[in-house]
Amino acid sequence: MTVITRFPPSPTGFMHIGNARTALFNYLYARAKGGKFVIRIEDTDRARHSEEAVEVIFNALEWMGLDYDNTPQSQYENRARHAEIAHALLAAGKAYKCYCSPEELEKMREQSKSEGRAVAYNNYWRDRDESEAPKGVQPVIRIKSPLEGESIVDDVVQGKVRVDNKQLDDFIILRSDGVPTYMLAVVVDDHDMDVTHVIRGDDHLNNTFRQNVIYDAMGWKKPIYAHCPLIHGADGSKFSKRHGSVSIEDYKNMGFLPEALNNYLLRLGWGHKDEEIIPMERALEIFDIKGISKAASKFDFKKLESLNAHYLNAADNDRLVDLISPFLKEKHNIIISEEGLTRLQAGMDGIKERAKTLIDLAAESRIYLVDAPFPYDEGAQKHLTPAAKTILKEILTELKALNDFNHEDIEHKCRNIAQIKADGKLGNVMMPFRAALAGTDKSPALFEAAEIIGKPEVIKRLEHAIAYIGTSASH
């Protein structure tokens, strides 16, 4: 058997973390088993359909690196096939026409509620002759669900799940306007696409019992099911925006790498021994749906940040330069020059080991990409005081005299100045020096950064900072 899994998002909003994990699990299982991973857009809800949302879905899949093996299908465009199956079930006596009005259905719901029954519809038209049908009423088509016994779903994750068939209603499979319902469309499409494994959230488990009614009525082989527990917030409550339930596009914009997010999502409800760092190539070797936990997962933003820091530190420097360029332009109004690129490439190893996100990396990169004069942020201004002016002048004098501008000699000069001018406190030298070089109070290792920036530019930045202190002091 060739394993075929599917990812069937609805294009009615953004692609969130739960969608992404479902896509990842389906992708990994298909690839790990040498099978196929296919996409279907479940776009039958035309009122909420959004072409922009379709584009967002495919952009997210591309960013995550989840390639697929088919030309993605539109469920809406396949509606004639769904209707064909509904009429086939009707002809076989496995379904029937229902002429109930909205008012009649509401009365049934009220009665069912008052009697404490799970099923609202009372099967009024199940065995009635169509000759009794009211004139001018366009009927819906309902499937005949089993009336007695129980139904069982043997789920890979949840185990054997049983439902009393009295809880299954004769649900609608074709609306009065000829539009198929979600329940019918899903089953027909999964069957026609030869889907062998349905891996999805356990919020679909109730749907599975109803969908299996259609499988049984058609005599079709049912797929293997794996219903994954939903993701919760770190506090165990329903996952929401305050926990990190935002779109995949948002995680990209927050500066996360796709390989880090994939690794985190993989470990969110699935495990293999004690492995935490699991790159995609390793995941493809070891992933199996039997490893999916039955317990709900808690989303931990700090763990995601930690994983991202790991992957940033391991990433290729040229790739990182490309990835931070949009953040530099958007957040710092910096376009990388040739000279800036040379400095950044030389300093990347030192800054990427400190960063948690690409946004952090862009901020830390700024020291290599700006040329004096430049503005000082609030953090830098705190250290560019009249007292610091004396220190900066000493640094300027000492560094101008250096013939070999390397980090060891720069550090040696700064330590000497600390002993003579700053009561032996190196911080009193480094903080104004950092503010002068970076325009902020944070930077990579300062002496190594100064060497990379180069003597002429370091001199310019020191001179600019000294002039700035003089100007600000006069105000």
> What's the pLDDT tens digit per position in 68-111?
999 999 999 999 999 999 999 999 999 999 999 999 999 999 99
CB atoms within 10 A of CB 463: 16
Q: Select from 176, 202, 228 the last residue of a domain.
A: 228
Q: Which residues of the chain have pLDDT under 50?
A: 475
Residues 234, 219, single domain; the answer is no
Q: Is residue 248 part of a domain?
A: yes
Report the predicted TM-score, pTM, of the whole model to 2 decimal places: 0.91
Residues 214, 82, single domain; the answer is yes
Residues 107, 217, single domain; the answer is yes
CATH number, domain containing residue 261: 3.40.50.620
Please give the pLDDT value at position 204.
95
Residues 54, 106, single domain; the answer is no
Residues 302, 329, single domain; the answer is no
Q: What is the extent of the structural domain holding 162?
A: 78-228
Q: Select from 228, 253, 286 the last residue of a domain.
A: 228
Q: Is residue 403 part of a domain?
A: yes
Please give the pLDDT value at position 49.
84
What domain count does the chain have?
A: 4
Please give the pLDDT value at position 237.
75
Catalytic-residue membership of 389: no
Residues 165, 132, single domain; the answer is yes
Residues 418, 357, single domain; the answer is no
Please give the pLDDT value at position 475.
45
Please give the pLDDT value at position 240.
65
243-245-247 Cα angle (round to 5): 145
Q: Is residue 199 part of a domain?
A: yes
For tokens 């944070």, name the residue.
442
For tokens 């007695």, name the residue.
148
Residues 310, 236, single domain; the answer is yes
Residues 344, 307, single domain; the answer is no
Q: List the catalytic residue out of 107, 113, 241, 294.
A: 241
CATH number, domain containing residue 406: 1.10.10.350
Residues 138, 165, single domain; the answer is yes
Please give the pLDDT value at position 473.
55
Burial 225-257 (b: 16+ CB within 10 A, else e): bbbbbebbbeeeeebeeebbbbbbeebbebbbb
Q: Select from 314, 340, 359 the last residue of a domain.
A: 314
Backbone φ and ψ of 63, nearest 5°: -60, -40
Residues 186, 103, single domain; the answer is yes
Which residues does residue 192 pair with via DSSP β-bridges, in sequence order?
none
Q: Is residue 73 part of a domain?
A: no
Residues 93, 158, single domain; the answer is yes
Please give the pLDDT value at position 338.
94
